[in-house]
Amino acid sequence: MIRLATFLAAGDLRPRLGAVEGDALRDLSATHGPDWDIGRALLLPVAELAAMIAAATQTRPLSACHVLPPIPRPGKIFCVGKNSKVHRAELVAQGMLKEDPQEPTGFVKLAETLVGQGARVVRPEGITTFDYEPELAFVVTKRAFHVSRENARAHVGGITVLNDLTAREIQKQEVISGTKFWVSKNMPGFCPVGPYVVPLAEVADPYDLWLTCDVNGERRLRVNTNEYIHRIEGILAHFTRFMPFEVGDIIATGAPRGTAIGHPNAAELYLKPGDVCVAGLEGLMQLTTHVVAPGEA
């Protein structure tokens, strides 16, 4: 399984491209040059990419590298909303949702909220309903505009994990006011992504994967991606009727059931300073986030 990473080694000012192999990271930039990044690598047929990785002779301990978000500067971080029937019901029950859309809906997380593996994310002062939302996300590798369902997958080259961190009490206020999630999902650090990208050609079926979330070692959810209502084909066909996706954009495809807000003891489950939240795609990658108090980042 190919897992691509963007990383910094000691003394680096420019990100490198690597391939993760167990506890080691094969430095592709050292062999193939500094102009390679994940977006470019994902354009290669998987056999050529595997050969490129095999030709890279320099390896580094993964623990000695600083793993960055896989796409450090995406133009857009686009999130599909209300894409789980059960999660919709959870939101309706808490006054977080008034409509029942029959087509894909979406919102944007700002690029400045992006953080990577091991990030220390502040639970903002006064926020007590800080929730986790592990999501399957796709990386755009070919400009997508007026895309058909049949051709959609030619425009996305890999998958990763996005944890759509959310301040629920602010989200509820925004729903009441008619504002769609600008503040509740766009506080600093509210968009952990990564730590790796797996080429789409390496995945037998992105809609037969297990999304997971553990907090302090306790399993909070494990949901199969086959529960998504709208899949990447329909998502791209719908939104690119009028709006293009550009190379390097990230498309997160929705929260699963089972986030804190869906439980009767939600107050006990919301993230608190000191918590370690691990969102993952089972067997592929785990994305760790440390929740800290203001002043501790």
**Which domains does the chain show, CATH number per domain?**
4-67 (no CATH), 77-292 (3.90.850.10)
pTM for the model stands at 0.94
In the three-class reduction of DSSP (H, G, I as helix; E, B as strand; rest coil), residue 198 is classed as: strand
What is each CA distance from 243 to 39, 147, 239, 240, in whole angstroms? 21, 10, 6, 5
179, two tokens: 């504002």
Among 294, 199, 135, CA closest to 4:
199
Residue 101 has a pLDDT of 66
SS3 call for 231: coil
Write down the pLDDT at residue 29: 97
Three state DSSP letters for 75-126 = CCEEEEECCCHHHHHHHHHCCCCCCCCCCCEEEEECHHHEECCCEEEECCCC
pLDDT at 297: 73
Residue 154 falls in which region: left (phi positive, over 0), alpha (psi -120 to 50) or beta? alpha
Instruction: Please name which of 8, 131, 116 lies closest in space to residue 62, comparing C-alpha atoms.
Output: 8
CB 223 within 8 A of CB 133: no
What pLDDT, on the 0 to 100 scale, is given for residue 90? 65
Count of beta carbons in the 10 Å neighbourhood of residue 229: 17
Interior/surface letters 235-264, b for 16+ CB within 10 angstroms, e for the rest:
bbbbbbeeeebebbbbbbbbbbbbbbbbee
Residue 295: what pLDDT?
87
Rounded Cα–Cα distance for residues 92 and 72 (Å)? 34
Give residue 84's pLDDT. 76
Residues of the chain with pLDDT under 70: 86-101
H or E element in which residue 179 lies: none
Instruction: Provide the pLDDT for residue 212.
Output: 98
Which position has the token pair 């929705």?
Answer: 254
Strand residues in the chain grouped as ranges (E)? 4-8, 16-21, 24-27, 59-61, 66-67, 77-81, 105-109, 114-115, 119-122, 130-131, 134-140, 156-163, 166-167, 191-192, 198-199, 210-215, 218-224, 250-252, 276-281, 285-292
Distance CA 235, CA 239 (A): 6
Upstream peptide bond of 195 is cis (omega within 30 degrees of 0): yes
Please state, in angstroms and rounded to a whole number, the distance separating the CA atoms of residues 92 and 73.
Answer: 34
Q: How many other CB atoms sit within 10 Å of the CB of residue 158?
A: 27
What tokens were used for 147?
């895309």
**Which residue shows structure tokens 């999660």?**
87
